[in-house]
Structure 1
Amino acid sequence: MEIETEIQREYNPAHPNFERWQKARNLSDERAKFVESIVSNLVFLSGLNVLDLGAGEGSTSQLLSKNNFVVSVEIKRERIIKIQLSDTLHPVLADCINVPLKNKSVDLIILQDVVEHINFSSDFIEKLFFLLKDNGLIFLSTPNKYSLLNLISDPHWGLPFISVLNRHKIKKYFLKYFRKADFNRSDIAELLSLNDIYTKFDKKFSIHLFTNYSVEYLLSGGKGLIWSNFHLSIVRLINSLGLKRVLLKIANDKPGFINKYLTPTFYVLLKKI
């Protein structure tokens, strides 16, 4: 199966992205704590029905299952088997589009670095809307297509300008010549802009950005948000130059210039309306 081949690549030390992927896996527990801290801003995390889409190896699912019931959906078998079944955690081998749950059965949906890897269509958003109970929440994190940092070094490939390309062009102009082994991957990342998020979600959800919170978390030593050598070096430079206070004044949660073109990753809570 193609999915099995993709997984084998992710765990292959010879793959050019192996170090980047391994760092991400090693930081997954810290990232789970960060997700929990953001969601806690809008809801008391206890007694909820949680759907974790694209759950990976399950760090966020495991953490949230301590006080909630969690369904972890993951399409890759080698990942899902690492999520241990319990009374409050139920792993499901499936894709994000065809989730076997009833409408209005979910309080919280986790979309952690997932939407850029799937067909992020209006039909998919409609499905999420119907799965959620009234006033239900979605946690969404996804890299910013137009962020200056991502233009310099794409978060998935570590090379310039790839972040602005759609999936077809990444395959046509990059993978075809430079990463032939990845050409047939089904989960090639196509990044979103802030306008994409507002356009797709604005009619059915209230949108709450958490840029201020994430910048302060990152510059105060928080782990789990970045793992590429390029982004880590930027954080070290900012702290060494004493620029933390300046950046915290600039950072904001408004849909303006800063979040459109500077914020590297969007951290968003979407509330069903």
Structure 2
Amino acid sequence: MPITIRTRINTTFKQDWREQAPNLAEQDKYEAKTSQQFRVSSIDRNTQRYGGDHWKVTFVQPLQPNQGQAKSTWYVYVPHVQLSEAPSTSATLRARINTTFKQDWRTQAPNLAEQDRYEAKASQQFRVSSIDRNAQRYGGDHWKVTFVQPLQPNQGQAKSTWYVYVPHVVYESSVAKSNMEIAPSGSNKYITQELLHQINRNASIEAVSNVSLLCPSSVFLLCFLCTCVPRLKNYLKTIRLHFLR
């Protein structure tokens, strides 16, 4: 989801969370004004890593301090900012644990050059531009992912496309979630109507669409019920005739 940070009051984004803002050099601090908004590329909200009150944030647009070069990654003081996550159909990738994104899925992370690996921290989120989840192409356990915001390794140029180790990440897409939520209701409706049809022999029941939404377990349950209902009715009829004799 697109994420933005809005400042509640005037605050200072820092290159070192351990230092008080007045003690930092001009190139290591950015003075943000009240109500400013910044689009976020990735964020580590585990404050325990950063003194208990800071987030590590990478912004979509690098921020220019009073002196020195513009920088994308800063530490922000949590009580001074507000995080906003707007609903979207875009996908995100979240790191379950500390993991390494690689330029070559065939090589173990420690054997890669610094410019060919990106160290992602647990709980970091990254917006996804495109993703190839056919892991069979990449050793059976990697995805090929292109991120909205290029990721900067310790050395070399930032790169958009990386290979990620599947067990270490979570892929989240609001579109996929909505599709998953539709299927159970459609399946239950179909089963209920078919069951009533078998019991009551009511031909007026309307045909049910969305049969394609049925999952294999629902089809099995439907077949089982359709088979059992006539047998149950015959059994009850036999018992009734026995007691009427």
- TM-score interval w.r.t. the shorter chain? under 0.3
Higher strand share: 2
Q: Whose relative contact order is higher, 1 or 2, with alpha carbons under 8 Å and at least 6 apart?
A: 1
If the length of structure 2 is used for normalisation, what is the TM-score?
0.25
If the length of structure 1 is used for normalisation, what is the TM-score?
0.24
The higher radius of gyration belongs to 2
Higher helix share: 1
